[in-house]
Amino acid sequence: MPTIQTFLLPDLGEGLTDAELLTWLVKVGDTVELNQNIADVETAKASVELPSPYAGTVVALHAEEGATVEVGSPFIDIEVAGAPASDAPEPTTAEPAPERTPVLVGYGVAAESTGRRRRRPAPVVAVAPVPQQERPLAAPPVRYAARRGGVDLKDVQPSGSRGEVTRDDLERHLSQAPVADPAEPEPRTARPPVTGLDEERTSIKGVRKHTAAAMVQSAFTAPHVTEFITVDVTPMMDLLSKLKQSKHFETVRITPLALVAKALLVALRTNPSLNSSWDEANQEIVTKRYVNLGIAAATPRGLMVPNIKNAHTLGLRDLAQSLVMLTTTAKEGRTGPEDLAAGTITITNVGVFGVDSGTPILNPGEAAILCFGAIRRQPWEYEGEIALRSITTLSLSFDHRLVDGEQGSRFLATIADILSDPISLIALS
């Protein structure tokens, strides 16, 4: 006998609390197959296609396109044939979990999280009505600020729409300011709305919301230092021209960014502190012997920093291919959560916009970010004479808790030396 199964929106990665429904790919009355994509949703980290955990007929859609859906909330109802009526209540709370978890785990941030993700759907249903009993809801920056302030979030009165502790709640708790009685009248006189202004208001959500929180956390947590160096990269551009004509790069699009990335990877071998992170909880500096190279990418959905896993193991040809694939995927909106996780150091290429330099903000959890500016033909002193040369500016922002000024300076100078004399790529490799 047919029964109706309610699919609850799962956690799509690293404890995210909600997702925006972009597009329904099915409608009421449609027949869907197991694993068929039913909707496009956007989390704070990526846009993903959501597969159906059931085969059957769609009988209800619980959200409209553009709406924000909380994790654990009903998402879609599907009538499944052949399930006994007496078992109808059970599949919606227990049985579907192991069935749909293998489908959705591909959208998680790491393969090793499979075990945790498999157990997650059942607790979501059971615990959602009383989340404060175990772990108060709060965004990662708020939890971090609470740890630094020695505050147990269970002691903070939440005011968020979902019962979560907000930054304002935490600051109010720290200052011991009394919470205003909602019954009391607003002390300030409300101003009349200003009319006649040509404005557009956009909801802060998805990637933009996540980026904003991450940048604020980074800017006010890591003590930033930025250094600059101007480099004659004429030899690098000459090498690039030769590589483009080489048979080894016939099918590969190689760009100046690929050579800058390779120079950075080589420089890290003698400057490992730039590839580290600060573990506040354990009061440790974690130096990583692998390099997951992040590339800041401007996409239609906002700033994203996908990374190339184990970039330190790649030769120049493979690195160039990976860069093209990474940026193309990001611009097409197909970057998955796993591509955004576990970065160790980042490059931002502002030169593509014609900008000479910048003071980039660190990607949270990383020690450094290299800014690559525009390459311009300029008069330059060369071998005792003034000549027209290819000049660029590199800037390096680093976390001064992890990197001393000498270390940061040597790292930046090493990259500059490699780009001005590319034969160093062979000598230092």
Residue keyed to tokens 């609390």: 17
Contact status, residue 392 vs residue 233, Cβ threshold 8 Å? yes
- Token duo for residue 91: 């599949």
Catalytic residues: 400
pLDDT at 93: 42
User: How does DSSP classify residue 201?
Assistant: -
Average pLDDT, the chain: 80
Condensed to tens digits (0 to 9), the pLDDT of residues 77-115 reads 999 986 544 444 444 444 444 444 444 433 343 334 334
Q: What is the pTM of this model?
A: 0.60
pLDDT for 373 beyond 90: yes
Comparing CA positions, the residue from 77, 73, 63 lying closest to residue 5 is 77
Residue 156: other Cβ atoms inside 10 A: 20
Q: Which two tokens mark 303?
A: 């700033």
3-state SS class at 234: helix
Comparing 145 with 80, the larger pLDDT belongs to 80
Instruction: Kindly report, residue by residue over 174-205, the tens digit of the pLDDT.
Output: 776 444 444 444 455 555 555 567 888 877 77
The pLDDT assigned to 14 comes to: 55
pLDDT in tens, 223-279: 899 999 999 999 999 999 999 999 989 889 999 999 999 999 999 999 999 999 999
CB 43 within 8 A of CB 206: yes
